[in-house]
Chain A
Amino acid sequence: MSAEQNGSEPGRSRALVTLTVNGAEREAWVEPGDLLLDVLHDEFGLGEVRYGCGEGVCGTCTVLVDGEPVSACLMLAVQAEGHAVTTLSALSGARDELHPLQQAFLRLGGSQCGFCTPGVILTAYALAQRFEARGSEARAPEARAPEARAPEARGSGAPTRDEIRYELVGNLCRCTGYTKILDAIESYLAEGPEGSR
């Protein structure tokens, strides 16, 4: 990061940061206090990363940082340097296709107003990734923080509905009552990542 007295506003210190977002390196001049949320939403135009509460409770600004769900309102932009940041756009891929997890949400009515949906889907996606890693043993369980684990991982079966509930506790939804969100995630996990294709 390089810092200087710069930027559009006089008297404010700005720094050039390079962030890896959805696989691409992107630069932004930020103030030290700028949140990752604001840089992603306002500077990079990633509208799916949304301000909801600013206190890390609601989960509408959920992004994946090195594969784990993080509230972008609790992370400074400068802290994200050197980490891989993933937003929901990444799931659609270059051809802008719906990911099977997104298809499950569409098919089963897991979205109403849609404001919480990107965060919810990313949290579910991270759970699915862990589940896959667990299955293939491609990733040692120690690699992730213990508190990030569901009420303990059991055997090789897909995460139970209760385990999904546990994972989603950081993503509030005020519209659906969660039932159809859980249906969608459960369906995706049961069918497997290739199942819906």
Chain B
Amino acid sequence: MTSPPTEAVPTEAVPTETQPTETQPTETQPTETQPTKTQPTEPRLAPVAPMRVVGQRVSHHDFVDKVKGSLHYAADWQLPGMLYGRVVRSLVPSARIVSIDTAQAQAMRGVAAVLTGADVPRNSLVERASGGLGELLVPMPILAADRVRYVGEPVAVVAAVTQQIADEAAELVAVEYEELPGLFDMEAALEPDAPRVHDEGNVLVNWHIARGDVDAAMAAADVVVEGTYRTQHVEHAYLEPEAGVGWMDHDVVTVRASTQVIEHAAEIAEILDLPANKVRVIAAYMGGGFGGKEDMTVEPFIALLVWKTGRPVRMIWDRQESMLASTKRHPFLMRYRTGARDDGRIVAQDIDLLGDAGAYPYLSARILFAGAALSCGPYQVPNVRVRARPVFTNNVPTSAFRGFGAMQVTFGYESQMDRVAAALGLDRGEVRRRNFLRKGDLIPTGETLDTVVAVDETLRRALAALGEPSPPSAPGRLVGRGFACNMQPYGRTIWFRDRASAWLTLQADGTLLIRSGVTDLGAGQAASLCQIASEMLGVPLGDISVYIGDTALTPPAGGTFATRQLYMSGNAVLNAARDLRANLDPVAADLLGCPAGELNYSGGLVRAGDSADAKGVSLAELARACDAQAVELSCLSTWRAQAGTFDPATGQGGSFPDYTYGTHAAEVEVDPETGEVRVLRYVASHDVGAAINPMRVEGQIQGGAMQGLGYALTEEIVLEDGLTASSLFSSYFIPTSLDMPDVQVEIVESGEGKGPLNARGIGEPPLGPVAPAIASAIADATGCRPTRLPMTAERILALLDEQAGRP
């Protein structure tokens, strides 16, 4: 066993696990040997100090466990006497529950509990996703007691000594239903005589955003282009199904689950009618989440069973159950009217958005707000009128999914930009360039953009990287090219007054502990915090341990969603590291006899200046000196995001802290005989401000673009009267390794962003531009513009038939 490397300089830094050995040289290797498809953009708009750890393509921490297969996910947890849970779900989309008979299930040997709504202390959760800005307050039961509203709705929950017995017992729970009329179409939900999914009404919230005089601007426009666009239900399809294990720890109900949000502990306490200090949630590293683990999944059921039985309980949803009943991405119906002048300048947008919320509110109110706020894209639009409404149906509920409403509208506004270009006979890129937002511009909500908008640079880079056009692979095939730009917020809507805390402790031996309530989706959320701390404090990555996601032991970080954790927890760690430096600096300066401003923290040392032979002390020596002088080595810091208010009456106010911009470009080949679309080339470019870890930035963009390609071309949860026809991976087509080309990434680093060290969030942004880029390429190849997703071969063929006047 060698000692961990002590240098944090790129050529030697990056120990990747806690016990490196000399036989694992590549883990600690420099990263400059990596083939890189991306080059930093030039010039950086703001100079950034040279970094040692940030900006490097390091792999460390959880990634070592991942390639070894030794990471313990939510299901990889066993306790003595553990029971196995199973949810009993509704088989009908809309019905009154006449009776629930659990006697047979209870009587089965090995069954420990069969619970129904009557056993839930407070069987009602009210979501306030808009933050009190006017959505209906609709209660959602944990276990439906008198009424079911979608296929898959939980009605009972079983625990038994084996999974097999729990599954069999769940089958024996007899629920008698009296079916009621169902509502499956979001437009039908608006009809005055439509059945009501909830007594409170079918429209969850009615958002308005308004600025300028749209009617006058439309009347004066040289061209007005209309378009209607439809998107579909989509499944997150994280490979790790919803899972968790719970147990009693003294008198605290403890749940360790695959979740993006440990703060749901408060809701679990509410459901169990317990004080908040009697529920603890621990987040396991997730096997993917993409927003689907932002709402509670297994947690309330595990907590109920643990609380009722006093025994440990494991619950894993099977894939079919996950696809049937987990929340989906909202289908949107988008109606656009866009007015433009002859020179391509947009003068007005009149937009109506409808989203299928399914049977319960979840986060629909906020998602449709994001859709409304972003519905004009990265373009200057002086006159805007947007209406956005999530409506209830008896379809499976929809909620958060990477992109969160701001991605669906990309298909709308980018298709409109193409149509404006076509109507005016202008180049698609030129129309966009003439309208791009710039720093200082107002956006539809009336806010001023206060960081650089480098979308034009992403457009230039994406188009350049697409290279020379490909010839058709066979006679008759049609090759076309398209691209699309987007803007996606990072950070929560600002009226939530977001905050995140992080706690750093320098230990006596010079190693560092980071404690943060962040949850890790697999994107390296925890690892990025290590990089930032390492950069600031000079602690080698291998000497940093990060503890995350525990409501009992880590300071609250507010969940991993809304592309917020680098922005929020990254800034919290940065601030905590600065606080720690403020404590360390005077002691170090005294030890080294130099001004504090000249101190250099790197490689586990503090030196009096930047030269390698400058006098230095180890962090261990410094820690001991601090201890002797009673200087605090543990710093808890809370970082608060920009706060603001939005006025739903005027449709003006604050919305999001900032945005990430990008452009994707694609080349496709269409077979007009079959309608089949093959993606030949794909380039994705985003301005990330500064790349904390370029390899992970590329990974986020490549993975996001691939999810977008599935969304554009193959993925759809097909529902027929509320029943899903896509409850298997064999009937729901996420892209495989064979289906799509490599995604080439062009990282732009503008040097401006509100995250730590000028970074912008990149979790959600790569999904938005994909569908409109592919649609644009198909239109370029065929002359037909797809307006409905996914763009399957059947639909393209139908468009071609229509174009040719074939029946």
Contacts and interface: CB of A to CB of B under 8 A. Distances in A.
A115 to B, nearest CB: 3
Interface string B711-735: 0000000000000000011100011
Interface in B702-759: 702-707, 728-730, 734-738, 740, 742-743
A118 B69 contact: yes
A112 B699 contact: yes
B698 interface: yes
Contacts of B21: 95, 97
B223 interface: no
B72 interface: yes
B75 to A, nearest CB: 7
Contact of A117 (B27, B66, B285, B738): B66
B287 interface: yes
Nearest to A118: B69
Interface string B492-515: 000000000000000000000000
A42 interface: yes
Contact of B75 (A10, A50, A107, A121): A50
Interface in B199-231: none
Contacts of B646: none
B738 A166 contact: yes
A112 B59 contact: no
A105 B27 CA distance: 10
Interface stretch (A77-85, A125-133, A136-144, A179-187): A179-187
A145 to B, nearest CB: 19
A109 B66 contact: no
A196 B26 contact: yes
Interface size class of A (residues with CB under 8 A): 35 or more
A104 B24 CA distance: 11
Interface string B214-251: 00000000000000000000001111110000000000
A54 B318 contact: yes
Contacts of B109: 9-11
In this complex, which of B236, B239, B241 has the most chain A Cβ atoms within 10 angstroms of its Cβ? B239
B68 A113 contact: no
B802 interface: no
A21 to B, nearest CB: 14
Interface stretch (B159-167, B481-489, B618-626): B159-167
Nearest to A180: B699
Contacts of A41: 75-76
Contacts of A118: 69
B70 A55 contact: no
A180 B705 CA distance: 13
Nearest to A34: B164
B286 A174 contact: no
B473 interface: no
| Interface residues of chain B: helix, strand, loop or mixed (majority) | loop
B662 to A, nearest CB: 15
Nearest to A109: B695
Contacts of A108: 34, 695
A25 B601 CA distance: 52
Contacts of A121: 67, 69
A106 B26 contact: yes
A51 B317 CA distance: 10
B699 A175 contact: yes
Contact of A48 (B29, B70, B241, B288): B70
A53 interface: yes
Nearest to B729: A57
A92 interface: yes
B737 A168 contact: yes
B436 interface: no
Interface string A87-124: 11100100111101011111111111111111001000
B29 A115 contact: no
Nearest to A165: B737
Contacts of A57: 728-730
A88 B69 contact: yes
A47 B72 contact: yes
B63 interface: yes
Contacts of B695: 108-109, 180
B63 A111 contact: yes
B319 A47 contact: no
B57 A55 contact: no
Interface string A133-157: 0000000000000000000000000
A115 B65 CA distance: 11
Contacts of A33: 164
Contacts of B287: 50, 113-115
Contact of B69 (A42, A48, A51, A164): A48
A173 B239 contact: yes
Given A47-B69, A54-B319, A173-B239, A106 B703 contact: no
B73 interface: yes
A166 B236 CA distance: 24
Contacts of A100: 26
B737 A182 contact: yes
B7 interface: no
Given A52-B319, A54-B320, A112-B523, 12 more contacts: A47-B76, A58-B319, A60-B240, A103-B67, A108-B695, A121-B67, A165-B737, A174-B288, A180-B698, A180-B699, A196-B26, A197-B23
The 6 A-B pairs of least Cβ separation, nearest first, read A113-B522, A48-B69, A114-B66, A115-B287, A177-B706, A177-B702
